[in-house]
A and B are shown apart, each in its own frame.
Chain A
Amino acid sequence: DIRMTQSPSSLSASVGDRVTIICRASRGISAYVNWYQQKPGKPPKLLMSAASRLQSGVPSRFSGSGVGTDFTLTISTLQPDDFATYYCQQSYTTPRTFGGGTKIEIK
């Protein structure tokens, strides 16, 4: 199975900060990475597919990049609604494994 390693596992940030989350795949997966946002007690919400394709309705302050093994999710200007846990997922093959998650907390 492909292992997805996210870093950091948590971070503290302030409204207005620029935040970057890293996801590394255990082997090359082209651009088959998706990013999800999850808030407590809710199901995950798809933010981005194919590494950089923003889903409809997702604010443009979210962006993604990467190909091969290294991927990033960036929030350009953190907003109060963005405090949540973020997960990467590879969809290159099955099982469609997830990263361990990155929790963004208010500083």
Chain B
Amino acid sequence: EVQLVESGEGLVQPGGSLRLSCAASGFTFRTYEMHWVRQAPGKGLEYVSGTSSNGRITYYADSVKGRFTVSRDNSKNTLYLQMDSLRPDDMAVYYCSRESIGGTGAFDYWGQGMLVTVSS
């Protein structure tokens, strides 16, 4: 069974940092592109960041470019999101997701999500 389990949620002050983790199981992690998507309270889905299967290629939304860093450790089956210079508008539920293999680019599995609160 495919599972994506996020951890690292918490409360952080504006300007602070937080590192999110997503532990994957039930599939060959190293062969899949992985992504982060967030959802602010009461709002829609927003793409945040992603990485190729080997971690050499990374993608970012303009809203987080230069502040967030995505990475992965294929030996630990884990995806990470380092979030620096956090702002109040970064407050959201963060989901990790797996991009399906086959060329459609769809996100076929999602974690349960974790809340990141940015507040003083």
**Interface residues of A, Cβ cutoff 8 Å to B:** 1, 32, 34, 36, 38, 43-46, 49-50, 53, 55, 85, 87, 89, 91-92, 94-101
Contacts and interface: CB of A to CB of B under 8 A. Distances in A.
Scoring A36, A89, A92, A96 by chain B CB atoms within 10 A of each residue's CB, the highest score goes to A96
Contacts of A38: 45
A34 B61 contact: no
Interface of B: 35, 37, 44-47, 50, 59-62, 95, 97, 99-100, 104-108, 110-113
Interface SS of chain A: helix, strand, loop or mixed?
loop
A30 B50 CA distance: 22
27 contacts: A1-B61, A34-B106, A36-B45, A36-B107, A38-B45, A43-B95, A43-B112, A44-B37, A49-B106, A49-B108, A50-B104, A50-B106, A55-B108, A87-B44, A87-B45, A89-B45, A89-B106, A89-B107, A95-B50, A95-B59, A96-B47, A96-B107, A98-B44, A98-B46, A98-B47, A100-B44, A101-B45
Given A87-B44, A96-B47, A101-B45, A43 B113 contact: yes
Given A32-B104, A49-B104, A43 B110 contact: yes
